[in-house]
Amino acid sequence: MICNTRLSLSLGSSTTTTPADQNNNKGKSTQEDDHQELTLCLSNSSDHHEYLTNCNMINNPQLLGGVNSSISVSSFSNTSVKRERDASSQLEEEVENLETKKVVLISPKVNVDVDDDNEYGGGTRKKLRLTKEQSDVLEDSFKQHTTLNSKQKRDLARRLSLRPRQVEVWFQNRRARTKLKQTEVDCEILRKCYEELKEENKRLNKEIQELKSLKMSAVPFRVQLSAATLSMCPSCDRTYGGAATDSSTKISYSIGDQKPHFYGIPSQIHQQQLC
């Protein structure tokens, strides 16, 4: 029987924990955090719904036995599963590491920390700095393929005297930072594009305003036209000055027209304005 509903209450100072919060608590006891999690489970019993309340003792699964021995402990916490997995992969890496030590080192300055597991024992994290050679090899490898399969990872790690995990992390960070840089580049391109479009929009708006003012200045002139020059538009029944070749019309459109490109097509403008 697996609990379908899970309500978790953090008994810590904060009820919601972000990754950042959790990171801030790094170095403190994450196991303690697990112990503080109170889990309320709703069982799926066909006869009745029974509420089971139990403390999620991740690291003390035997304590769950009294409530319901068939409850899958691992289903409560991905973290614990992950830790187990990490532990096993760590073991694998240690084996790799032992093999690695047989390999000729690429550089006299080796960054493999033999006491890696004790790295944070003293509360300080030692910062690994890759050598130039190691970085170059990783960069070359990244140029060829941005992701690695297990074999490639192992081979590369062996070649560089690093743990496979370190190679994996390097590639993860490299991908993330490459993407970040690309995003910045894209952002810059979009920004320029936006500026150009803004300018274009400004120019077009100005053009619209000029056309509008042109139209307004053309209306009084049309009123002055003699009835003899007016024709009826067949589509909208409006009257208009049909003499598109009228020299006076051409002149009237020339007045105040600051846009040279309007010259030569006054009749088109005239028609559009009327209909």
Partner DNA sequence: CATTCTTCGTGATTTACCTCA
Partner DNA sequence: TTTGAGGTAAATCACGAAGAA
- Give the binding site for DNA (CB under 7 A): 2, 17-20, 22-24, 26-27, 30, 72, 74-75, 78-79, 81-82, 84-86, 88-89, 119, 124-130, 135, 147-150, 165-166, 168-173, 175-177, 179
Q: Looking at beta carbons only, is 148 or 214 nearer to DNA?
A: 148
Smallest distance from DNA to CB 180, Å = 8
Report the candidate in 174, 110, 129, 130 with the shortest Cα–Cα distance to residue 148.
Answer: 174
Helix (H, G, I), strand (E, B) or coil at 61: helix
Nearest to DNA of 111, 239 (CB atom): 111
| Smallest separation (angstroms) from DNA to the CB of 197 | 27
Nearest to 211 by CA among 275, 274, 273: 273
Least gap, CB of 110 to DNA (angstroms): 13
Q: Give whichever of 52 and 130 is closer to DNA, judged by the CB atom.
A: 130
Measured from the CB atom, the residue of 93 and 257 that comes closer to DNA is 93
Q: How far apart are CA 249 and CA 262, in angstroms?
A: 13
Q: Report, in Å, the least distance between residue 103 CB and DNA.
A: 18
CB of 161 to DNA, least distance (A): 12
**Residue 177 or 198 having the CB closest to DNA:** 177
Enumerate residues 6+ apart whose C-beta is below 8 A from 14: 21
Q: How many CB atoms lie within 10 A of CB 128?
A: 16
CB of 11 to DNA, least distance (A): 15
Q: Which of 42, 46, 44, 45 is nearest to 54 (CA)?
A: 42
Between 49 and 151, name the residue whose CB sits nearer to DNA.
Answer: 151
Cα–Cα distance measured from residue 58 to residue 14, given in angstroms and rounded to the nearest whole number:
20
The secondary structure element, H or E, covering residue 240 is strand 239-241
How many CA atoms lie less than 13 Å away from 35 in the CB half-sphere?
7
Tell me the β-bridge partners of 40: 7, 53
- The separation between CA 237 and the C-alpha centre of its own chain, rounded to angstroms, equals 58
